[in-house]
Amino acid sequence: MFISKKEVQVRYAETDQMGVVYHANYIIWLELGRTQIVEDLGFRYADMEKDGIVSPVMDVQISYKKPMTYGETATVHTWIEKYNGVKTVYGYEIYNEQNDLVVTATSTHACVRKDTFRPISLKREYPEWHKVYEENKKQ
């Protein structure tokens, strides 16, 4: 199983009145991690979008363990938790600079045609992508 890593600097605008990262901003960091793993595996979402394919979020599960504050660096670990050729579940762990686990999460996606939102088979439409996801998913 391949695990991608993406560092994110906590910006002041991402914090709330209590001085900690606002909870919804972690979901943005999940997207950064997801984009990073796709690139690390040799692909680009932008190329798929040029073909009229998008990958909407179907579900997000997130658990907050510890707060992060302005000026810290978060490291988003991302992997392919489950993959069946149509639907992908990405797994995430976010760590602070002390290597403390601050967030665990999963997000579920399907690739669909942008004009109809009908799902596609990655195996049929993007066989190289399918092969790499099969080889790198959690066993």
pLDDT in tens, the chain (139 residues): 899 999 999 999 999 998 999 999 999 999 999 999 999 999 999 999 999 999 999 999 999 999 999 999 999 999 999 999 999 999 999 999 999 999 999 999 999 999 999 999 999 999 999 999 999 998 7
Catalytic residue among 16, 47, 59, 100: 16
Q: Is 7 helix (H, G, I), strand (E, B) or coil?
A: strand
* Residue that the structure tokens 């910006």 belong to: 11
| Total-model pTM | 0.94
3-state helix, strand, coil in the chain (%, to 5): 30, 40, 35
Q: Which residues contact 108 (CB under 8 A, 6 or more apart)?
A: 57, 58, 59, 60, 87, 88, 89, 90
Q: Tell me, yes or no, if 16 is annotated catalytic.
A: yes
